[in-house]
């Protein structure tokens, strides 16, 4: 059976990539947009990333920067972002031990994505 995109000529427009993965009829986990949305899911996630775009932070520094964010939600978001390959955790030896969080190169590439989301949301409809 021929793939649905074979033989079709694509015309690209902004936001419509010339990529066979874009020609699906249902959301798929391998879709780059779905992967990005999954990495950004959850309340507070974009604010945690915003803080880490300014440089690495400890858990305590993140809590101080986002005082209304509970420890549990911050822990959950950091674990989710680490699993998505967005955040790197580095445990520093010593007493008490400290864990530093920083964006991976993959995570730093979310900066322009967040800027584009901001720009879109800031424009009146």
For the full predicted model, state whether its pTM sits above 0.95.
Answer: no
Q: Which residue has the higher pLDDT, 104 or 17?
A: 104
96: pLDDT confidence band, cut at 50, 70 and 90?
confident
pLDDT in tens, 21-48: 777 888 888 888 888 999 999 999 999 9
**Domain spans of the chain?**
30-122
Q: What ranges in the chain are assigned the alpha helix state H? A: 32-39, 45-53, 59-65, 71-83, 105-108, 110-122
Mean pLDDT of the region 95-122: 93
Bridge partners (DSSP) listed for residue 13: 16
Distance CA 5, CA 21 (A): 9
CATH fold of 30-122, please? Arc Repressor Mutant, subunit A (1.10.10)
């Amino acid at each position: 059976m021929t793939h649905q995109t074979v033989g079709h000529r694509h015309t690209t427009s902004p936001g419509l990539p010339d990529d066979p993965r874009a020609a699906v009829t249902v959301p798929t986990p391998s879709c780059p947009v779905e992967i990005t949305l999954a990495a950004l899911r959850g309340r507070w996630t974009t604010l945690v990333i915003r803080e880490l775009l300014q440089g690495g932070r400890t858990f305590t520094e993140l809590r101080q920067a986002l005082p209304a964010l509970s420890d549990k939600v911050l822990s959950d978001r950091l674990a989710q972002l680490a699993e998505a390959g967005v955040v790197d955790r580095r445990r520093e030896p010593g007493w008490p031990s400290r864990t530093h969080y920083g964006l991976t190169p993959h995570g730093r590439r979310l900066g322009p994505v967040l800027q584009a989301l901001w720009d879109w949301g800031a424009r009146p409809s």
